[in-house]
Amino acid sequence: MNKDVNINILRNYKNTKVLVTGGAGFVGSNVVRLLLEVGAHVTVLDDLFTGSPDNLKGVQGYSFIKGDVRDDKLIKDIAGQFDYIFHLAARNIIISTKNPEEDFSVNIGGTLKLLLALKKSKKLKKFIYTSSVSIYGNPHYLPINEDDRINVLTPYSVSKLGGENYAKVFYEGYDLPTVIVRYSNVYGDQQSPSNPYCGVIGKFIEKISKGKAPLIHGDGQQTRDFTYVRDAVEATLLAGISEKSTGDIFNIGTGIEVSINTLAEVLMSIYKKDMELEYIDKRDIDNIRRRVLNIEKIRQKLKWVPQFTLKRGLEKTVDWYEKHKK
């Protein structure tokens, strides 16, 4: 399905009331932008722990609530007002590894509080839970299918799977319309390298733009499925608006396996730099050797395919960074 067809379908969000938890974060702020673009009435809920108002700078037409998904009273007061809820609020993998208790409290506890508040909602059309391909761990086979073996290796993957399971239970047990999407290494606009929790692409861009070689943990032969944020967001919104998605789970990626060495080389070519890569010890969280997703299910069921190649997505990301780095 091409981009224009996607946008026409997404215009079904026009005049609907939508809550985006974690909407001041990297992916969340991009979700907010696209929802506003297609005419939705958007409310952002964010505690600004890792999110930032800067991610929504210049964006108009949304409401903002500074609050925590663990706040019982707040969640009970607002949850029933919305047609769609995109739940992106979470502690990320680095914070989760440092503080598993906080990870459990936010990623599992916050999700459960939202679902409990929605259990009797007559207004809700879809609860969209954003999960992570980290739940697959080191796969036995590639590419990874949605029904492949789960192998959690970090506190973050434990908690994201816990949220998935609650979303599934509330669909099966309480008829709450839910859908789960699993993101794979999303990158792009609003992912500021100044944020200490940004991904590898943000860190590489910051180094290369200054004429410094990117630092690679391990040997650089580890692979990932890098997904440009606009593609990830369009797929997420399609999953939310489609009746065919209810109760289901979808991988969101590109189906293309890319090594960290290749990633660095493409970025250096965009900057027209030629530097020797620098290798350092791998981190505790670097426990996945290879990853690439099978996206055939979302292609067949929701007619979605990614529009951005790695190079094109990286070019747009670099362009955004160069315009906003000051």
Q: Could you give the maximum distance between any two Cα atoms of the chain, in Å?
A: 59
- Cα-atom radius of gyration of the chain, to the nearest Å? 19
Give the whole-angstrom CA distance, residue 78 versus residue 69.
11
Whether the CB-CB separation of 21 and 114 falls below 8 Å is answered with yes
Closest CA to 297 of 179, 189, 137, 121: 179
- Residues with Cβ < 8 Å from 181, sequence gap 6 or more? 128, 129, 130, 131, 235, 236, 239, 249, 250, 252
Catalytic residue (choose from 62, 156, 166, 187): 156
Whether the CB-CB separation of 251 and 298 falls below 8 Å is answered with yes
Q: Is 156 assigned a catalytic role?
A: yes
CA dist 109 to 65, 82, 104, 144, Å? 19, 20, 6, 28
- State the catalytic residues: 156
